[in-house]
Amino acid sequence: MGTDLGASQREHWQDVYDRNPHMYGAEPSKPARHALEVFTARGAQEVLELGSGHGRDALWLADQGLQVHAADFSATALDQLTRTAEEQGVADRVETHLHDARTPLPLTDASVDGVFAHMLLCMALTTDQIHALVDEIGRVLRPGGVLVYTVRHTGDAHYGTGVSHGDDIFEHGGFAVHFFDRALVEDLAEGWELVGVESFEEGELPRRLWSVTQAKPMVG
């Protein structure tokens, strides 16, 4: 996959958010509810959401008392998130970051207790870029911190159909998805504690996904 696909996907999502403010509604996703359970069980206080969009999950996590860093590559979505945070009275618990997942995270080493990414890792990223992103997540997590991510997998109805960009990336309706197989999940968990992999479905197709939880080892 070349840089052209990444750039076109960025433009596509920006246009989607321009035309469809709050396109996912205000209710938190099921994966966000699961992530909160994981974060709470581990005593997390400060977390990062990657691919926050207009913020339905980031704002809900903030409303539950967490300090939240919300990162997305759409300035339009982050503007919507900021306005809503002010309206909901949680602006003091939310910090936004304009960020491309193909670049280093804008946080310092060992600065957050948890990271949540709902379908961000399975966007138009190559396998190498996904590995680099997970390495960055490991860098910003504190020892014992946890990553909760969801991805569409190779059992999904769209896998192998539409426009192929190689590296298990297929495009439908303008949206490119990198479909995960179990080997990729295992590879990304190397050096981590793989806490669990759960299957679930979402949407009208329905989309078939995995929810993956992995923890950064304690040191010392």
Query: Looking at the domain assignment, is residue 220 inside a domain?
Result: no
Among 24-28, 29-33, 114-118, 186-190, the minimum mean pLDDT is found in 24-28
User: Is pLDDT above 50 for 102?
Assistant: yes
What is the per-residue pLDDT across 141-166, written as a single tens digit (0 to 9) for each?
Answer: 999 999 999 999 999 999 999 999 99
Query: Looking at the domain assignment, is residue 81 inside a domain?
Result: yes
User: Is pLDDT above 50 for 130?
Assistant: yes
Q: Is 164 exposed, middle or buried (0-12, 13-18, 19+ CB in 10 A)?
A: exposed
User: Is pLDDT above 60 for 73?
Assistant: yes
Q: Where are the beta strands (DSSP E) in the chain?
A: 46-50, 67-72, 94-98, 112-118, 141-152, 163-164, 169-172, 175-178, 193-202, 207-215
Tell me, what's the pLDDT at 219? 77
**Mean of the pLDDT values across residues 137-144?**
98
**Mean of the pLDDT values across residues 194-220?**
93
Query: Looking at the domain assignment, is residue 142 inside a domain?
Result: yes
Tell me, what's the pLDDT at 204? 85
**Mean of the pLDDT values across residues 200-219?**
94
CA atoms of 186 and 114, how far apart (whole Å): 20
Domain range enclosing 54: 3-215
Question: Sorting pLDDT into bands at 50, 70 and 90, what band is 1?
Answer: very low
**Reported pTM:** 0.90
Query: Looking at the domain assignment, is residue 13 inside a domain?
Result: yes
CATH number of the domain where residue 169 is located: 3.40.50.150
Question: Sorting pLDDT into bands at 50, 70 and 90, what band is 6?
Answer: low
**Mean of the pLDDT values across residues 173-196?**
96
- Number of domains composing the chain: 1
Tell me, what's the pLDDT at 220? 45
Tell me, what's the pLDDT at 210? 98
User: Is pLDDT above 90 for 51?
Assistant: yes
